Amino acid sequence: MDNTDAPALLLLPGFGVGSFHYDQQLRDLGREYRVWAMDFLGQGKSWPSHDPAPAEEVMEEVLEGQANAKIRDWGLGKTPESWAQELVYSVDTWRDQVHAFIEKVIGGPVYIVGNSLGGYVGTYFAATNPELVKGIALLNATPFWAFTPNARRYPLLSKLVPWGGLLPVPVIAKAIIRVWWDLLRNPITVQKMIKLVYADCSVVNDKLVGQMLEATDHPAAFAAFTSIVFAPRAHTDFGQNLISLKETRTPMCLIYGKEDPWVVPFWGQRAKQRNPDAVYYELSPAGHCPHHEAPEVVNTLVRKWVESVQSQGALSPPLLDGEVNQKQLYWFVVDNLGKRVCVRVKATQGFWSNLIDSIREIFSKRSLQSQVIEAAEESKV
């Protein structure tokens, strides 16, 4: 169908993956909307075109025309190239990359959909550029990123860290990270980590593992990963960004996989507490990447949420035709996968109520799925 005048959606992936993680959103939502997925610099297939800081021996090999110069790790020399003197793989760099992508490729305001790191960066971007964001959907967005103190916020504390991720990579950082890097890029490690955070491991296959490992073979990958580890925090934190979005009345949709062991539902509920006007959906079975584990469900929720925002209130958000009943559970029947996914809509709760509910669910043996099975099937979507 012709969607040249349709709303634009920008999909931002999590750490360690790329636009390939949104294949099912690009195919499905792309039928109705203009949809893009962007790889963050230093991940997926987004890389510098040249070595930002070539080592002296590599420079000599290049001059001599030796072929093996092209397969050395990039960014490990002593002096950066002129174009890379400010290169650091940080959330500020990725935020600026999103800004450039929207302005130069999309050409106007967008709906942002972000998973994990993508949700964090998307929220940061939306808070600083509200005029370019029509709404934002967070899929198990990570509430934290980076360890190094931001120099603007903590000038004295930041001086205690000798390197802040700016290329080239110093020798000591290279030595610290190398063993960790080699362990993380091991195929067995990657598969185990995915299965740890996925509730439905049936979608974890060799293709997904291979796509994730492909990025680690790029000559810039090691320097990028090392820079990411040492890069500074953002100028504003996740909570501040959520408050900013509330103040600018930016529509927000929160979709969280209940079985995520990293970003547990507590963080999604806390995000709703910061922004009470946001709509919140909890999916089960689904883990850290609900868009990949239960794409039909996430696509339906995103589609109906965008329709609601576009209608300026004439249409209700998905599953919210009336007052929110936190005990109301919904079935999404996913026929082609032979499974069903449960969805719970939640209202805004206080911090302690969220915390108590989260603790209760951790120690409860009854999953959301078992509660739904025991409950009467009240609606199907």
Provide the pLDDT for residue 252. Answer: 99
DSSP 218: S
- What distance in Å separates the CA atoms of residue 68 and residue 50, rounded to the nearest whole number? 15
Q: How many Å is the maximal CA-CA distance in the chain?
A: 75
DSSP classification of residue 152: T
The two three-digit tokens of residue 315, written as one number? 């249409």
Domain assignment present for 117: yes
Q: What pLDDT score does 153 carry?
A: 83
CB 73 within 8 A of CB 154: no
Does the N-terminal peptide bond of residue 285 adopt cis geometry, omega within 30 degrees of 0? yes
Choose among 12, 261, 242: nearest CA to 119: 12
Distance CA 73, CA 56 (A): 12
- 124 occurs within a structural domain: yes
pTM for this prediction: 0.88
Distance CA 198, CA 256 (A): 12
Kindly state whether residue 238 falls inside one of the protein's structural domains: yes
Total residues found in the chain within this entry: 381
Distance CA 139, CA 297 (A): 12
14 falls within a domain? yes
Q: What is the DSSP letter of 148?
A: B
Cβ pair 109, 233 in contact under 8 A: no
Please give the DSSP secondary-structure letter assigned to residue 72.
S
Q: Write phi, then psi, for 347 (nearest 5 degrees).
A: -85, 175
Residue 18's domain comprises 8-45+89-150+231-296
φ, ψ (nearest 5 deg) of residue 276: -60, -25
Token pair recorded at residue 48: 């510098």
Using DSSP, state whether 155 is helix, strand or coil.
helix
Answer whether residue 113 is part of any domain.
Answer: yes
Output the pLDDT for position 376.
34
- From residue 144, give the alpha-carbon distance in Å to each of 22, 119, 163: 22, 11, 20
Give residue 4's pLDDT: 80
Task: Give the model's pLDDT for residue 374.
Answer: 47
Q: What are 136's strand-pairing partners?
A: 112, 252
- Which of 211, 290, 226 shows the shortest CA–CA distance to 44? 211
What total of structural domains would you count in the chain? 1
Does a structural domain hold residue 58?
no
pLDDT tens for each residue of the chain, 381 residues long: 557 889 999 999 999 999 999 999 999 999 999 999 999 999 999 999 999 999 875 544 444 555 444 468 999 999 999 999 999 999 999 999 999 999 999 999 999 999 999 999 999 999 999 999 999 999 999 999 998 888 888 888 777 888 999 999 999 999 999 999 999 999 999 999 999 999 989 999 999 999 999 999 999 999 999 999 999 999 999 999 999 999 999 999 999 999 999 999 999 999 999 999 999 999 999 999 999 999 999 999 999 999 999 999 899 998 887 665 555 678 776 655 567 889 988 777 665 565 566 565 655 544 544 554 444 344 444
User: Where residue 292 sits, what CATH number does that domain have?
Assistant: 3.40.50.1820
- Give the C-alpha separation, 129 to 67, whole Å: 45
Strand order of the β-sheet with 8-12 is 34-37, 8-12, 110-115, 133-139, 252-257, 279-284, 339-346, 329-334
Q: Which tokens sit at 271?
A: 């995000």
Domain contains 354: no
Q: Is residue 276 part of a domain?
A: yes
According to DSSP, the β-strands at 8-12 and 34-37 are: parallel
Across 24-45, b (16+ Cβ under 10 Å) vs e yields bbbebbbeebbbbbbbbbbbbe
Beta bridge partners of 341: 332
CA distance 164 to 90: 9
